[in-house]
Amino acid sequence: MAIERVFSQRLPDEERYLSALRPTRLDECIGQEVVRQQLRIALEAARKRGEPLDHVLLDGPPGLGKTTLAHVIANELGTTIRVTSGPAVTRQGDLMMLLTQMDTGDVLFIDEVHRLSKVVEEFLYPALEDFRVDYTTESGIGGRVVNFALKRFTLVAATTRAGMLSPALRDRFGLLLHLDYYSEEQLARIVRRSADLLKVRADDIALRRLAARSRGTPRIVNRLLRRVRDYAEVCGDGTLNAAVVDAALDILQIDQLGLDNLDRAYLHALIRHYDGGPAGIEAIAATMGHERDTLEDVVEPYLLQIGFVIRTPRGRLARPAAYAHLGLTIPASARDEPGLFE
């Protein structure tokens, strides 16, 4: 039976809540200094030349601000943004409808761009390079190919799986920007801003506790702020302090490093069922009853980041830090495994 995850549970108004906390201008963004500097220069150069911004590819784990940056880019350019995702664009006609609606300088944001079908991806190539597309109006013998001229637009694409992009698509982006996990200090500043916007009373120690257990991810720190605020209003006077944060996160079963039930289940599956590895991701996913993509996109990036797991040619391998965190002993069969103590 699949394990429910606190971090990925979406309430009906979750998107509206998160959207209200998103910065709208580049100067309001916190963290990702290198990315912001590169964007600032590119935006200023485009404005001075009176040209649309080069196409932008944003990659990195979920929740780091790719969607936010796409909207910030549109706001900085003073243009309209149209939003879609790779799985939603199933036919050339879907993409054609979006492209013909674009005005000069507008931003088209495609989330999960690695999930575009090959046919749609190839249809996109001339649109990105020459701002033209050849569209077949009808199928069969009577079909006609019409060449449409498009207005110069900017594609901002986001992906959590940059390695799945074809070289042909990647080469058509002028700006390739990678988003890294945020530091605890940066997350503390982000959650302070969010608390102020929501008019939540909170001391700095409480907000730092939240930041420390948010896996380096702004989306998670904002989501946890909401859950802790609810706890404070029901079980306290609405004020966030260290004791309230600890009690609320204990109920949510989020530990001191920000690991939740799904993270711990992954580590237990790897250690108990496969003696710490190496184990293939398909085998781990089958043991847990979860999809492989969920583990690769949502669980593993943070475990790799904090050194709990490594990927080897033979599969995933649990590191000593993972055993120590779970209070488990490294099995004798794993002690001689190459890479374990590196």
Catalytic residue IDs: 66-67, 111, 160, 219
Query: Which tokens is 303 given?
Result: 């475990």
Query: Which tokens is 83 given?
Result: 């939003």
Q: How many angstroms separate the most distant Cα atoms in the chain?
A: 72
Query: Which tokens is 139 given?
Result: 């199928």
Alpha-carbon distances, residue 53 vs 67, 98, 175, 341 (angstroms): 17, 18, 9, 46
Phi/psi for 183 (5° steps) reads: -80, 165
Alpha-carbon distances, residue 76 vs 39, 79, 151, 164, 172 (angstroms): 10, 8, 19, 30, 22
Phi/psi for 269 (5° steps) reads: -65, -45
- Among 254, 235, 234, which residue's Cα sits nearest to residue 246? 254
- Among 148, 156, 176, which residue's Cα sits nearest to residue 34? 176
